[in-house]
Amino acid sequence: MLTPTTGAENWIAYRRQNPRARLRLFCFPYAGGSASLFRAWPDDVPALIDVCPIQYPGRETRLSERPYKHIMSMVQALARGLRPYLDVPFAFFGHSLGAMVCYELICQLRSEGQPEPIHLFASGCRAPNIPDPDPPIHKLPEPEFIAELRRLNGTPEPVLQNTELMQLLMPVLRADFEMVETYRYTDCGLLHCPVSAFGGLNDREVSESDLVGWRELTRGAFTLRMFPGDHFFVHTARQSIVRIVSQVLGLPHHV
């Protein structure tokens, strides 16, 4: 049985101790994703960057925990859990749901008088003030829900065809999509940090204009970069993404 989450979760998984690091990069996965998405990133970033993959409840190292169904509940717990790690400059990278979580986490940290990130990388995610035009899927009957997962192309086909594995993953997948589909934007004021928006050239879920919307949410600089691939270009274009993130965070004035 899944146990309720508390305020003392271990939100960071697969982190490598890095005494040379001068900046932390918190990485937030997409709906249905996990911290292992970023497990190899420390191999490709400069030594001054401490990569901190975020693990949502209900998967991998937190399999016994109940997944969150609402972004704000998870964001409030994240703000508590990450507080000890905000003692050095830090940046956020989030893909899809992860970018939405990043935005709301910045707003939450601001409301608590906590430090804010020096940079936000919003990947594969429309600006949070742009409503999702797609109908919700998290309550669909299982066959239709799996068909939508297949269409989105984010879950490997062998996983979709594995009945036992899908029964294990189904509560997490439905909860994550419920987080996305019940999200309602609330203006917390312009962000102070620069924002880099990343998109997939063949992404049918998030358009270039959806990404450009992030420009309106920050006082800082805005850049847009497009990569080959569909909505899950974060896998296929990983090396290019990591290289650009490293270049941005490696600038002297960022550290």
CATH number of domain containing 117:
3.40.50.1820
Q: Could you tell me the pLDDT band of residue 6, with boundaries at 50, 70 and 90?
A: very low
Catalytic residue selected from 34, 64, 73, 96: 96
In a domain, 58, yes or no: yes
Q: Look at residue 113 and tell me if it is in a domain.
A: yes
Give residue 143's pLDDT band: very low, low, confident or very high (50, 70, 90). confident
For residues 54-69, average pLDDT: 94
Average pLDDT over residues 27-54: 94
- Mean of all residue pLDDT scores within the chain: 90
At residue 109 the predicted structure's pLDDT band, cuts being 50, 70 and 90, is: very high
> Does 232 reside within a domain?
yes
Q: Could you tell me which of 76, 101, 238 has the C-alpha nearest to residue 176?
A: 101
DSSP for the chain, written as a single string? -PBPP-TT---B-SPPP-TT--EEEEEE--TT--GGGGTTGGGTS-TTEEEEEB--TTSGGGTTBPPPSSHHHHHHHHHHHHGGG-SS-EEEEEETHHHHHHHHHHHHHHHTT----S-EEEES---TTS---SPP-TTS-HHHHHHHHHHHT-S-HHHHT-HHHHHHHHHHHHHHHHHHHT--------BSS-EEEEEETT-SSS-HHHHHGGGGGBSS-EEEEEESSSTTHHHHTHHHHHHHHHHHHTSGGG-
pLDDT grade for 18, boundaries at 50, 70 and 90: confident
C-alpha count within 13 angstroms, C-beta hemisphere, residue 125: 28
Percent of the chain with pLDDT over 90: 74
96 in catalytic set = yes
> Does residue 152 fall inside a structural domain?
no
pLDDT at 214 over 50: yes
- Whether residue 163 lies inside any domain: the answer is no
* pLDDT for position 5: 43
Q: What is the value of pTM for the model shown?
A: 0.92
Domain carrying residue 244:
23-129+187-249
pLDDT for 85: 94
Please state the domain count of the chain.
Answer: 1
